[in-house]
Amino acid sequence: MAASSISSLLSTPNLKKNPSLSWKVSMPSAFTSFPQQTRKLEKMFVVMAMDAKPTVLVAEKLGAAGLDLLKEFANVDCSYNLTQEELCTKISLCDALIVRSGTKVSREVFESSGGRLKVVGRAGVGIDNVDLSAATEHGCLVVNAPTANTVAAAEHGIALLTSMARNVAQADASVKAGKWLRNKYVGVSLVGKTLAVMGFGKVGSEVARRAKGLGMHVIAHDPYAPADRARAVGVELVSFDEALATADFISLHMPLTPATSKVLNDETFAKMKKGVRIINVARGGVIDEEALVRALNAGIVAQAALDVFTVEPPSKDSPLIQHENVTATPHLGASTMEAQEGVAIEIAEAVVGALKGELAATAVNAPMVPAEVLSELAPYVVLAEKLGRLAVQLVAGGSGVKSVKVTYASARAPDDLDTRLLRAMIIKGVIEPISSVFVNLVNADFTAKQRGLRIAEERILLDGSPENPLEYIQVQIANVESKFASAMSDSGEIKVEGMVKDGIPHFTKVGSFEVDVSMEGSLILCRQVDQPGMIGTVGSILGDSNVNVSFMSVGRVAPRKHAVMAIGVDDQPSKETLKKIGDIPAIEEFVYLKL
Ligand SMILES: NC(=O)C1=CN([C@@H]2O[C@H](COP(=O)(O)OP(=O)(O)OC[C@H]3O[C@@H](n4cnc5c(N)ncnc54)[C@H](O)[C@@H]3O)[C@@H](O)[C@H]2O)C=CC1
Ligand SMILES: O=C(O)C(=O)COP(=O)(O)O
């Protein structure tokens, strides 16, 4: 599993809210190539509890191999058939929740978690039972297991197709009822018939492959599938209407989304060939079930074989289930021994990875960033957050921060630089110091939007060799006053800039003053009249107060005019120490900032 680590981006509110737990520093593998960064990254990439194991609630049956993996890392609570109320009660004690299709992970569940829930693992493909918006708003990562049950679902689709065509289920029931109805259960042949696969993704393409082996003519409709993938399987991609008009069999394999909800309805059934047969192993909600009953009664649809239903389980006296031309199975698509073991391992690995702070390759509501990209971006991720923090601390109280402009200067082609992580970190840096809101990679964009914070991103393409992903990052905050007037650019924005030198983030510009300070600890910025002895004067005030200076840099516009001195300090100076600095006659303004 390709997974990368960037724990601070996935750490969740209870890290802050639950100080009683002691948190261990774990250096994610993606960062081990930056040994010089270790100390600073340790501060950022704080992950799971050392003495408090996380708790994973497994709310539906999961294969043993997956449970074993989970137990190596977490306390595992297997509680099946919980009511919504019980789930909401339990969830506040859980760091992760694993479900299949039978559990509704509603907004209420996220709200009830009190910020503790870090990850929801869907042990399967469809995530229509998880309220993704609520998950994102709560900064909770959702991961699924998208590959391990593909073949099982495709095989079940083929099982339904063949058994429907030969009335296997109905004939079996009649034999068991003591009947011998050889004339009633005459079936239809598959060879030479047209099968329309609706949704040519993982399952759809496996169904297509198998149906071709049965001698069927296979067409597919999928607005997003590449034509060459279809060609490779020997399948022609057609329009929705053409698929409906030409198919003898229609097999549904698209996800349930607002766009696919009730996509088979009275209107679309009317466009089908009379006597069409429908197979659904996708989701019940893609069919208007009442319209399907009407189409069955009218003979438009000769038969339907359904594994999934709008409401599961459907009511016993549902006219659809009871229809003699309907074959129904209880959502068995993924239920083979092999698929369930595979899914269990796939989801357990994803959930454990996410709890460790890794970015899962199967994240549904967060960007998936390959390990090698993450490793390269690591110091820039730190830089981005610190620039955000710096910029916002320069804003004078009372000015609302509404608009942040981020400029990425790079010699790399725009396609070569994924800025989503950097943007998330800048948002984190800007928002966290001025609010109680917790920001991570999952909820960064949402949180910015919700607070009315506009983030404009700009790329500057530099000449030269694109050895580093970025030359510098600049963060500007517009329409605000600054508590440090020298931080304002000529065009009236607070402006800070930084770059990575030898793997270490450096602060390199404030307003129009160039400085050069490694971004560690805290920072004192002073504007002074440029004159000899200033460094010594400030240095000895700090030294007398036992404040260790890590870096000092002076940026000036011209000799003996104004200069900005940036002083990196390891320890927080006391108010008295800061006052003494401010009292130096040549100091015109100063500000103390936490990095
Ligand atoms: N019955 C069961 O136990 C199982 C059901 N499933 C369901 O099967 C479905 C497909 O799963 P996968 O193939 O793994 O997903 P997938 O994501 O690989 O494929 C879905 C395909 O549907 C396409 N699609 C999206 N909107 C469409 C539209 N309006 N019309 C036509 N195609 C559209 C997508 O482009 C994609 O190619 C999902 O709904 C999943 O939940 C999957 C596994 C087991
Ligand atoms: O993976 C899917 O989308 C499925 O529908 C399988 O559902 P299940 O895990 O068997 O409840």
**Residue 405: enclosing H or E segment and its boundaries?**
strand 403-410
Beta strands in 478-586 (DSSP E): 494-501, 504-510, 513-518, 522-529, 549-556, 562-569
The residue whose CA has the least distance to atom 9 of ligand 2 is 100
> Which residue lies with its CA nearest to atom 2 of ligand 1?
333
- Asked if residue 204 has its Cβ within 6 Å of ligand 1, the reply is yes
**The token pair that represents 114 in the structure block:** 């009190």
For ligand 2, the distance from its centroid to the CA atom of residue 133, given in whole angstroms, is: 20
Instruction: Report whether 509 contacts 473 (CB < 8 A).
Output: no
Q: Which residue shows structure tokens 């990875």?
A: 353
What is the atom index within ligand 1 of the atom nearest the CA of 224?
Answer: 35
**What is the predicted ipTM?**
0.99
Q: Based on the number of CB atoms within 10 Å of its own CB, is 278 exposed (0-12), middle (13-18) or buried (19 or more)?
A: buried
Regarding the beta carbon of 203 and ligand 1, being less than 6 Å apart is answered: yes
| pTM listed for this prediction | 0.79
User: Contacts from 214-223 at CB under 8 Å and sequence distance 24+?
Assistant: 214/158, 214/162, 214/190, 215/190, 215/191, 216/190, 216/191, 216/192, 216/249, 217/192, 217/193, 218/194, 219/194, 219/195, 219/243, 219/246, 219/247, 220/196, 221/196, 221/197, 222/197, 222/198, 222/254
Spell out the per-residue pLDDT of the chain, length 595, in tens.
333 334 555 555 443 333 333 333 233 333 333 334 333 333 233 233 334 799 999 999 999 999 999 999 999 999 999 999 999 999 999 999 999 999 999 999 999 999 999 999 999 999 999 999 999 999 899 999 999 999 999 999 999 999 999 999 999 999 999 999 999 999 999 999 999 999 999 999 999 999 999 999 999 999 988 888 899 999 999 999 999 999 999 999 999 988 899 999 999 999 999 999 999 999 999 999 999 999 999 999 999 999 999 999 999 999 999 999 999 999 999 999 999 999 999 999 999 999 988 767 788 888 777 777 778 888 999 999 999 999 999 998 767 899 999 999 999 887 778 888 899 999 999 998 888 778 888 899 999 998 899 999 999 999 877 788 999 999 999 999 999 999 999 889 999 999 999 999 999 999 989 999 999 889 999 998 877 888 888 889 999 998 988 888 887 766 667 889 899 998 889 989 999 998 998 899 999 998 8
Q: How far is the CA of 74 from the centre of ligand 1 (A)?
A: 32
Q: E strand or H helix at 403, and its extent?
A: strand 403-410
| Beta carbon of 461 within 6 Å of any ligand 1 atom | no
DSSP state of 439: -
Ligand with the closest atom to the CA of 146: 1
Quick one: pLDDT at residue 10?
Answer: 59
Q: Which amino acid is located at 396 in the chain? A: A
